[in-house]
Chain A
Amino acid sequence: MRNIFAVAGVVIKELYRRKDFYVLFIVTVLICLVMASVNIYHDDKIVRYLKEICLLLVWISSLVIAITTTARQIPAERENRTLLPLLAKPLSRSQLVLGKFLGCWIACGLTLLCFYVFLGALAGSRDHHWPVLDYFQAATLHWFALGIVVALSLLGSLVFAAPSSNSTICFVVVAGILLLGRHLDQVALQLSEPMRGITLAIYYVIPHLEFFDMRDLVIHDWPLIAWKFYGLAILYALAYIGVFLAGACLAFRRKAVN
Chain B
Amino acid sequence: MNSSRTLFLGLLALLVFSFGLAAYLQPQYVVMPLSRADGDIFKITLGESRELFANEFYVKADAYYHSGFYPTIFDNNEAFKTAHVGEDTGAVSSKNHGEEASFMGPPRDWIDAFGRHFLPDRHTHLDSGGADDDLSGSDEVGEILPWLKLSTDLDPKNVQNYSVTAYWLQRMHQTNSAFRVLMDGLHHNPGSPDILFELGRLYAGSYQQTNRAVNVWRAAAHNWHPMSGTNDAVFANNFIYEKITTQLGQTERDEGHLQAAIDWFEKAKAVSRTPDAVQGLIDETKKEMSSSAPAAASSDP
Contact = CB atoms under 8 A, between A and B. Distances in A.
B142 interface: yes
A183 B73 CA distance: 10
Interface stretch (B22-30, B43-51, B111-119): B111-119
B202 to A, nearest CB: 14
Contacts of A216: 68, 119-120
Contact of B74 (A48, A183, A214, A233): A183
Contact of A222 (B67, B149, B177, B181): B67
Interface in B34-80: 64, 67-68, 72, 74
B280 to A, nearest CB: 39
A6 B181 CA distance: 61
Contacts of B118: 141, 210-214, 217, 225, 229, 233
A139 to B, nearest CB: 14
Interface string B99-118: 00000000011011011011
Contacts of B108: 185-186
A40 B146 contact: yes
A50 to B, nearest CB: 9
B119 to A, nearest CB: 6
- Bin the interface of chain B by size: 20 to 34
A13 B101 CA distance: 50
B142 A229 contact: no
Nearest to B66: A220
Contact of A226 (B111, B117, B139): B117
A208 B115 contact: yes
A42 interface: yes
Nearest to B70: A216
A186 B174 contact: no
Contacts of A226: 117
Nearest to A204: B111
A182 B112 contact: yes
A252 interface: no
B115 A210 contact: yes
A226 B117 CA distance: 8
A6 B172 CA distance: 58
A81 interface: no
Contacts of B120: 216-217, 220, 222
A43 interface: yes
Nearest to A50: B146
Interface in A184-221: 185-187, 203-204, 208, 210-214, 216-217, 219-221
A213 B174 CA distance: 35
Contacts of B119: 216-217
Nearest to A236: B114
Given A48-B64, A222-B120, A43 B115 contact: no
Contacts of B67: 220-222
Interface residues of A, number: 35
A208 B145 contact: no
Most chain B CB neighbours (cut-off 10 Å) among A43, A212, A233: A43
A109 B172 CA distance: 41
B142 A46 contact: yes
Contacts of B114: 211, 229, 232
Contacts of A253: none
Given A222-B67, A222-B120, A183 B111 contact: no
B146 A182 contact: no
A136 interface: no
A46 B277 CA distance: 40
B220 interface: no
Interface in B175-206: 177, 181
Contact of A208 (B64, B111, B143, B169): B111
A78 interface: no
Nearest to B168: A41
A49 B146 contact: yes
Given A186-B74, A204-B111, A46 B146 contact: yes
B147 A220 contact: no
19 contacts: A40-B149, A41-B145, A41-B181, A46-B142, A46-B145, A47-B143, A48-B64, A49-B143, A185-B108, A186-B108, A204-B111, A208-B111, A211-B118, A213-B118, A214-B118, A216-B120, A217-B119, A222-B68, A226-B117
Interface of A: 38, 40-43, 45-49, 141, 182-183, 185-187, 203-204, 208, 210-214, 216-217, 219-222, 225-226, 229, 232-233
Given A210-B118, A217-B118, 13 more contacts: A40-B142, A41-B145, A45-B139, A185-B108, A185-B112, A208-B111, A211-B118, A216-B119, A217-B119, A217-B120, A220-B120, A222-B68, A233-B118
